[in-house]
Amino acid sequence: MRLRIATRGSKLSLIQTNIIMDMIRRVEPDIDFELVIVKTTGDVIQDKPLYSIGVKGIFEKEVNMAVLRGEADIAVHSLKDLPSEISPGLVLAGFSPRDPPYDVLVVKDGQNADLTSLPSHARVGTSSVRRRAFLLSIRRDLNIDVIRGNVDTRIRKLLSGDYDAVILAEAGLVRLMSEVKDLPIKYSRLPLDLIPPAPGQGIVVAVARESDTGIIDLLRKASDSRARIEALSERAFLKTVGGGCHMPVGGVAMVNNDELTFIAGIASLDGGRKVVVKVNGSAQDPEGTGVRAARELLSRWSRT
C-alpha cells in the first residue's frame, strides 16, 4: 500500500509527519509513504501577525486542498492549528499520542526561565492573541511583541537578542529539540490554569477524505485512544465558544481512567479581564464535557 501525505515543509512539520508515519507503521508495517510538500500563505507571509493576514485556517486549508484535489491521500497537522470547522469533504481520522499540552516560557541558557523573574518591560515574543491576552493578565508591564516564523526561526531570534523571552508550545519545542541537539535555551511550563493552551495543542492529526473509508479505518486503528477522546472534547469546546486560533480562549481536556477534566479560560485583549473554569465529566461523553465547559466559561464571562 502507498500513502501520499500532504504537509508543510518546515522542520517541525516534517517531524510531525514522521510521528504519523510511525503511528501507521505500527499497524501496517509494509506501507510506503510519499510526501507532498505544500507551501502555505502563512509560510510565505512572515512579516505580519497571523490575525492580520485575513485567511482563516492559514496553515490548514492549502495543505488540505491537496487532499481534496486528489494530489495526496491524507494531510498532517498540529491539531491546534485547525479551525473549529475544516474543509467540507474531509474528516479528522488519525490522532497521535499527545505530547505535553502546556505553553512554555523560553529564555537563553543561563537566564531564569520564570515568568515572575522577567524584568519590567522585558520583550516577550508571541504571535498568539490568546498568549498575549493571558500574559498581560499576569504581567501588564511586559512588552508583548509579535514574532513570526517556524519554531526554529523563533529560537534563533531569541538567541540573537531580538527578544528577552518567547512563548511556545512545549510539544513543538520538545519535538524540535529531539532533532536539534544542544540548543542553548531554558524553558519552564506555564500552568494550565494560568494560561490555558490552545485546544488540540500537543496532538498531531491526520485528515482524510470522508469517502476514503479504507484509509479512515487504517488511521482509526493506528490512533491513540486517549488523545482521540481529548481531541473530540476540545473540538466540541472550540466549536461551542465560536473561536478560532485568533480568539483569546484556551481549553484542555485531560483523561484519567473514565473521568475527563476540562480546564478553560478566556481573557480580554488587554488582559484586564480573565475567567478560568474547571469542569468534570465522563470520558464516555467527551463532546458533552467540552460543550459544558464552553457554556460555563461563556456564562461566567458574561457576568464579569
Residues designated as active site: 80-81, 130-131, 148, 154, 245
Given CA atoms 59, 62, 68, 72 in this order, what sign does their dihedral have? negative
- Residues near 164 by beta carbon (within 8 Å), at least 6 away in sequence: 107, 118, 119, 122, 123, 124
What are the CA-CA distances from residue 195 to residues 42, 73, 138, 153, 191 (Å)?
25, 36, 9, 23, 6
Q: Per the structure block, which three cell numbers stand in for 217? A: 479505518
Q: In angstroms, how far is CA 99 from the centroid of its own chain?
A: 11
283 in Cβ contact with 257 (< 8 Å): yes
SS3 for 286?
A: helix
- Residues near 186 by beta carbon (within 8 Å), at least 6 away in sequence: 106, 107, 108, 109, 110, 111, 113
